[in-house]
Homo-oligomer: A and B are copies of this chain.
Amino acid sequence: MPKFVYDFIEGNRELTDLLGGKGANLAEMTRLGLPVPPGFTVTTVACRAYLAAGAPPAGMFDEVNRHLRGIEARLGKRLGDRHDPLLLAVRSGARYSMPGMMETVLDIGLTDTTVHGLAAQSGDDRFAWDSYRRLVQMFGRTVFGVPDELFTAELETVKRTAGVTADSALDADDLRALVEAYQKVFHQHTGRDFPQSPHEQLDLAIRAVFESWNAERAVLYRRQERIPAELGTAVNVMAMVFGNRGPDSGTGVAFTRDPATGARGVYGDYLANAQGEDVVSGVRNTVPLQELERIDPRSFHRLMTIMDTLEHHYRDLCDVEFTIERGTLWMLQTRVGKRTAEAAFVIAAQLVDEGVIDLDEALDRVTGAQLGQLMFPRFDPASAPTPLAVGVPAAPGAAVGRVVFDSEAAVAAAGRGERVILVRRETNPDDLPGMIAAAGILTSRGGKTSHAAVVARGMGRTCVCGAEALTVDTAAGQLTVADGTGAAPTVLHAGDLISIDGATGAVYAGAVPVHPSPVLRYIEGELAPEADPLVSAVHRLLGHADVVRRLAVRANADTAADAHRARAFGAAGIGLCRTEHMFLGDRRELVERLILAETDADREAALAALRPLQRQDFEALLAETDGQPVTIRLLDPPLHEFLPALDELTARVARAEALGEDPGHDGQLLAAVRRMHEANPMLGLRGVRLGLMVPGLFATQVRAIAEATVARLRAGGDPRPQIMVPLVGAVQELEAVRDQAEALLADFDGLPPIPVGTMIEVPRAALTASAIAEVADFFSFGTNDLTQLGWGFSRDDVEGVFFGRYLELGIFPVSPFESIDTAGIGRLVQIAVADARATRPDLEIGVCGEHGGDPDSVRFFHDAGFDYVSCSPYRVPLARLEAGRAAVRLAHRSDTR
């Protein structure tokens, strides 16, 4: 039989799986000799057994009672003792912190009998009855789901009767009456009396905590935070200590450093003569922790010493909850504290300076996602007014613009060059054009998985959603904000300025000044590394990542300007240059001629006219990337994408014909578009297929690359182009293109070797990677298409349509376009890498889909043995950092094995 209960002295901080975070850290503090009230933890194993069977596992309550007797013996008090009752706190504590999601019951042990004992023993009637009414309310709410409002209504009645406004002004008699009223509420709601057996109270409280694991809000939270549903929670049972025993008592929270900025020194808040829940409820204002030095210098210095001990012990920022009962300090919780992205970098660098951790470990403590946040502009905290409302921060950034209420207005305003915020109750696929046109998106409904959130993240728009204080009236063209105080609501109209903060969810009226990101300015070379502590920390950790990482980081860049930026951001070359833009703009007419060509001569003439233009493009690109690899992908999209859309032409021609006019050129175009129409263009004539079907198309591109390379060589440059064939599904396709390319390249004297490789973006290519590796110089995984084909859905068609629902249903924990789906698409990637390397161990393998810039995915690619990732230039620093973290982590892992 497993052991279901651990005394605090038996556990340690390594046992978080078993004891939860809170229990493991309470045990650690106990082992360190810090003043923790005696207690024990019921394990997650017990919880899982309870949830599976619907009943506690055999022997669990025997163990609980045995450990309870240990506490009683240590404290010389007994649960239920009518003269000196032991009181207990029961708190949940899971492996991962789930703030506000889980349950707590304090003051267990009080009954109509023992309340008198507590009164006598403490010499404080008021304290005893106050504790009892707290118990009835917390127990009623937590264990039986009695709505809080029912209790609050009774409290208001009693206060009105007593003629007071503050809870603290109620005397013992008032509170005794309140307990009676609360017990009636309890009876009415549950159909039973408030339990008068302290052991039954404890039993029911433990069960309630177990059950809270599957409460709806906890399930939703876990899904969003990607916490496995099967972990279960532990339950911590601890002797009560009281911060509400008079002016020499109190409660507080403290951090070993500033969790907002990372600045050194203990930060915190203190509330005298109060319990922890009073701090949370915000009924009274806390004071800065420093004032405790004046109020109770002994406890203050004791706390400072403990904080120091904890930080040295945990080698990181810690936060604590503490209580002082009549001058005695008790530690109720500690953990490695949450912090902002800024603080994470600053503290990691500080700890290195302080000799506490080395650079590897510092790197492991920051994330690419944090670095990504720091690269966005931010509202100036100093000049930001009080928010109108706070919603769900759904996609990062700080966006300022004029309010528009529909997609058409957004598109129209954007057309006039105005920045707008699209405000909707919620969005749907019809709003897509407006979402593209807007600087930001604000909704009053929906969470991180709503259409607005999913699409905004996908397209990189700032988004705040589910700001429920807002009432959006599209018809009236106004936005009403109730602040909850009953004051007249604020009303905004279309055209009013508004600011939304995608990092915090705050919504502000007016234009809040936006500060450019100092981190971005540093990365762009505009700020020196020593400019401020944050920039300095980023500089050091990014620099270390560059030293330790095995993955190279390239950028996706189509133009010389993109390539220039990519290099500045630390890219080691271009992993993907899409050539489709070279067929757009002023070249449309030539491309149209190419497509409509009716003879070989027409087609060849159009291609011949396109070639010098492409040569110039390639030359400019190669000039920016001297000495670095530049992977140029031959034309990928279907040719009809370069012609007007079918329904647009259909409407124009139908209109002309209805009016008896000659549709002219439109008629000719329509015929061509109809001929080339594809029901599913993504699955049609594109990529290598196009190259094999349209004579001269790829050849023109290959020649232009060769000519540009020769020109750069003559200019003294060091051009290193690579030719990449898109959409290969069979080795024979690559062979055919490769043979043709090699024959063409052989015509150029003095050309350096130009590698010819392929995208791996079609599942069949991954499945036949062994054969393809024999004729490819490199593989570049196109995980975007691989995801689309592997799942059988096209991002454009489905992301805004059902991804929100799928995220809610837990079908995926995160969009597979954001992070690579390791179980499915990732497995395909692993199969391909293993097969390809078995054929050709030195094959260069990279990725050029958007996953190349996603932190979790970078780690996956590192583990899968890739040589490089390629991502958008702005994501290059993030990918560098994550590549470093991945390398450090693997090194650690192998150390400990």
Interface residues, chain A, CB within 8 Å of chain B? 429-430, 646-647, 650-655, 657-659, 675, 678-685, 689, 692-693, 727, 729-730, 732-733, 736, 761-764, 767-768, 771, 785, 788-794, 796-798, 801-802, 805-806, 809-812, 821, 823-825, 827-828
Q: Are A811 and B651 in contact (CB under 8 A)?
A: no
Which listed residue (B430, B655, B681, B812) contacts A679, Cβ 8 A?
Answer: B681
Supply 15 A–B pairs (Cβ within 8 Å), ascending by A: A652-B654, A658-B659, A679-B682, A680-B681, A685-B798, A685-B802, A693-B801, A693-B805, A729-B793, A732-B809, A736-B811, A764-B791, A764-B821, A767-B824, A767-B825
Cα A693 to Cα B798 with chains together (Å): 12
Which listed residue (B651, B763, B792, B806) contacts A683, Cβ 8 A?
Answer: B792
Identify the closest chain B residue to A649 (Cβ): B647
Q: Are A658 and B647 in contact (CB under 8 A)?
A: no
Q: Are B810 and A789 in contact (CB under 8 A)?
A: no
Cα A789 to Cα B683 with chains together (Å): 8
The interface residues of chain B lying within 8 Å CB-to-CB of A658 are 654-655, 658-659
Cα A652 to Cα B828 with chains together (Å): 46
A-B contact sample (5 more), CB < 8 A, given A658-B658, A678-B794, A763-B763? A685-B801, A692-B806, A730-B824, A762-B790, A771-B823
The interface residues of chain B lying within 8 Å CB-to-CB of A682 are 679-680, 683, 792
The 5 closest A-B CB pairs, nearest first, are A683-B794, A764-B824, A658-B658, A684-B797, A651-B654
Cα A654 to Cα B646 with chains together (Å): 14
Which listed residue (B655, B768, B789, B824) contacts A792, Cβ 8 A?
Answer: B789
Q: Are A809 and B692 in contact (CB under 8 A)?
A: yes
A411 to chain B, nearest CB (A): 15
Cα A825 to Cα B658 with chains together (Å): 49
The interface residues of chain B lying within 8 Å CB-to-CB of A684 are 793-794, 797-798, 801
A489 to chain B, nearest CB (A): 30
The interface residues of chain B lying within 8 Å CB-to-CB of A828 are 763, 767
- Of A646, A659, A785, A790, most buried by chain B (CB within 10 Å of CB) is A790
Q: Are B681 and A811 in contact (CB under 8 A)?
A: no
The interface residues of chain B lying within 8 Å CB-to-CB of A811 are 730, 732-733, 736
Cα A650 to Cα B790 with chains together (Å): 33
Per DSSP, chain A at the interface is helix
The interface residues of chain B lying within 8 Å CB-to-CB of A801 are 684-685, 693
Q: Are A729 and B680 in contact (CB under 8 A)?
A: no
Cα A843 to Cα B10 with chains together (Å): 47
Q: Are A683 and B788 in contact (CB under 8 A)?
A: yes
A794 to chain B, nearest CB (A): 4
A472 to chain B, nearest CB (A): 20
The interface residues of chain B lying within 8 Å CB-to-CB of A785 are 792
Q: Are A767 and B827 in contact (CB under 8 A)?
A: yes
A648 to chain B, nearest CB (A): 9
A675-B732 contact, Cβ under 8 Å, with A684-B793, A797-B683? no
Q: Are A825 and B654 in contact (CB under 8 A)?
A: no
A802-B689 contact, Cβ under 8 Å, with A654-B658, A768-B824? yes
Q: Are B764 and A825 in contact (CB under 8 A)?
A: yes
A687 to chain B, nearest CB (A): 8
A792-B727 contact, Cβ under 8 Å, with A658-B659, A797-B684, A809-B732? yes
Identify the closest chain B residue to A794 (Cβ): B683
- Of A683, A684, A805, A821, most buried by chain B (CB within 10 Å of CB) is A683
Identify the closest chain B residue to A689 (Cβ): B802
The interface residues of chain B lying within 8 Å CB-to-CB of A647 are 646-647, 650
Q: Are B792 and A679 in contact (CB under 8 A)?
A: no
A600 to chain B, nearest CB (A): 16
Cα A652 to Cα B684 with chains together (Å): 28
Identify the closest chain B residue to A801 (Cβ): B685
A809-B736 contact, Cβ under 8 Å, with A650-B654, A658-B655, A794-B683? yes
The interface residues of chain B lying within 8 Å CB-to-CB of A732 are 809-811
A729 to chain B, nearest CB (A): 5
The interface residues of chain B lying within 8 Å CB-to-CB of A727 are 792
Cα A142 to Cα B85 with chains together (Å): 114
The interface residues of chain B lying within 8 Å CB-to-CB of A823 are 767-768, 771
Identify the closest chain B residue to A655 (Cβ): B658
A621 to chain B, nearest CB (A): 28
A805-B651 contact, Cβ under 8 Å, with A683-B798, A792-B764? no
Cα A698 to Cα B793 with chains together (Å): 20
Identify the closest chain B residue to A690 (Cβ): B802
The interface residues of chain B lying within 8 Å CB-to-CB of A651 are 650-651, 653-654
A727 to chain B, nearest CB (A): 6
Cα A40 to Cα B495 with chains together (Å): 96
Q: Are A675 and B802 in contact (CB under 8 A)?
A: no
Q: Are A762 and B792 in contact (CB under 8 A)?
A: yes
Identify the closest chain B residue to A811 (Cβ): B732
The interface residues of chain B lying within 8 Å CB-to-CB of A729 are 790-793, 824
A785 to chain B, nearest CB (A): 7
The interface residues of chain B lying within 8 Å CB-to-CB of A806 are 692
Q: Are A790 and B802 in contact (CB under 8 A)?
A: no
The interface residues of chain B lying within 8 Å CB-to-CB of A733 are 811
The interface residues of chain B lying within 8 Å CB-to-CB of A824 are 729-730, 763-764, 767-768
The interface residues of chain B lying within 8 Å CB-to-CB of A788 are 683
A821 to chain B, nearest CB (A): 7
Q: Are A802 and B693 in contact (CB under 8 A)?
A: yes
Cα A388 to Cα B483 with chains together (Å): 90
Q: Are B646 and A794 in contact (CB under 8 A)?
A: no
The interface residues of chain B lying within 8 Å CB-to-CB of A810 are 732
The interface residues of chain B lying within 8 Å CB-to-CB of A763 are 763, 789-792, 824, 828
Q: Are A675 and B767 in contact (CB under 8 A)?
A: no
A263 to chain B, nearest CB (A): 45
Cα A164 to Cα B768 with chains together (Å): 65
Cα A763 to Cα B816 with chains together (Å): 14
The interface residues of chain B lying within 8 Å CB-to-CB of A683 are 680, 682-683, 788, 792-794, 797-798
Cα A809 to Cα B763 with chains together (Å): 21
The interface residues of chain B lying within 8 Å CB-to-CB of A790 are 729, 762-764, 767, 789
A68 to chain B, nearest CB (A): 41
Q: Are B650 and A796 in contact (CB under 8 A)?
A: no
The interface residues of chain B lying within 8 Å CB-to-CB of A654 are 650-652, 654-655, 658
Q: Are A692 and B793 in contact (CB under 8 A)?
A: no
Cα A461 to Cα B738 with chains together (Å): 37
The interface residues of chain B lying within 8 Å CB-to-CB of A798 are 683-685, 689
Cα A848 to Cα B686 with chains together (Å): 29
Cα A791 to Cα B692 with chains together (Å): 16
The interface residues of chain B lying within 8 Å CB-to-CB of A812 are 730
The interface residues of chain B lying within 8 Å CB-to-CB of A792 are 682-683, 727, 729, 761-764, 785, 789
Cα A29 to Cα B563 with chains together (Å): 73
Identify the closest chain B residue to A736 (Cβ): B809
Q: Are A692 and B789 in contact (CB under 8 A)?
A: no
Cα A658 to Cα B653 with chains together (Å): 11
Cα A785 to Cα B793 with chains together (Å): 12
A680-B802 contact, Cβ under 8 Å, with A647-B647, A647-B650, A733-B811? no
Cα A367 to Cα B802 with chains together (Å): 47
Cα A732 to Cα B821 with chains together (Å): 14
Cα A730 to Cα B805 with chains together (Å): 14
Q: Are A430 and B675 in contact (CB under 8 A)?
A: yes
Cα A732 to Cα B692 with chains together (Å): 40
Cα A652 to Cα B658 with chains together (Å): 10
Cα A624 to Cα B254 with chains together (Å): 76
Q: Are A675 and B429 in contact (CB under 8 A)?
A: yes
The interface residues of chain B lying within 8 Å CB-to-CB of A730 are 811-812, 824
